[in-house]
Amino acid sequence: MIGFMGNNLLPAHLGELIRIYVLGREFSLSKAAVFSSVVLERIFDTAVVLLFLVMSLFLVEELPSWVSTTIFFVSLLAGLIILFLAAYLFWTQRLIHATRRVFSFLPERFGRKLSETMEAGVLGLASMQSGGLVFWIVVTSILQWILMAAMVYVSLWSFGIHLPLVASFVIIGVSALGVSIPSAPGFFGIIQLSFWVILQGFGVDKGDAFASSIYFHLSNYIPVTLVGLYYLNRRGLQLWQIDKEAAEDEDQMLADSGTV
């Protein structure tokens, strides 16, 4: 929740950096392992969102052509990432050896640090080796995005926009893809644009589309930010402090690897 709050108050997904820092410090975890778990979460979320979006597109014909093109290329990218993660998990040493050969032109210290980071990072992907854990990760991801689509549906209904439920899945899918790009704090503008583009295909008035997007956005933004600040305070931390220290940790890690 602290990390999500950081994304709401800071630009460019800096909340993820804060999340890695806080988890690593509070629970004495390797930052590389925490980072890989964050990446794993994003992979599963992306896969579920794309699944819903592709299923929805078969039922909706009025969407702009660029949406279908975007889904295709993002799906291809997500598939390549999943293949890389599988290789990273099951053939860690081979992949590390291959990576070091690719970057052999860089200083030896960098290669050694890269190997250590990759070996530590595989710990965050350990859940992939357990069928039970993978099952529950998938289930919770599906439930999460179904609830998000339901919130979109309620937001539309609240402004008298009565569309089939499938439209809500399309909106949440496009919004999720949009907010994956580093942007302004709280993703303001991206979500509004997603609502506006998709709802235009359903003939919804621009004003109603904007109003419903603000209603949906704030219903997420306000509670998430407040809960994140609450836990930040319970930990005795300050946002500006951990943002600065997290950035310093990242700079130090880069310096140690010889890239700075």
- Asked whether the predicted pLDDT for residue 43 surpasses 90, the reply is no
Per-residue pLDDT tens over the stretch 187-245 = 999 999 989 988 987 889 999 999 999 999 999 999 999 999 999 999 888 877 776 66
Task: Provide the pLDDT confidence category of residue 258 given band limits of 50, 70 and 90.
Answer: very low
pLDDT at 84: 76
pLDDT at 115: 74
Per-residue pLDDT tens over the stretch 136-172 = 888 998 999 999 999 999 999 999 999 988 889 989 9
% of the chain at pLDDT higher than 70? 80
Query: Residue 209 and residue 160: Cα distance in Å, rounded?
Result: 11
What end-to-end distance do the CA atoms of the chain give, in Å? 32
Tokens representing residue 82 in the block: 């999943």
| Cβ(198)–Cβ(174) below 8 Å | yes
Query: Residue 173 and residue 194: Cα distance in Å, rounded?
Result: 9
Tokens representing residue 189 in the block: 């503008």
The region of weakest confidence among 5-19, 104-118, 119-133, 245-259 is 245-259
Closest C-alpha among 71, 99, 76, 88 to residue 177: 71
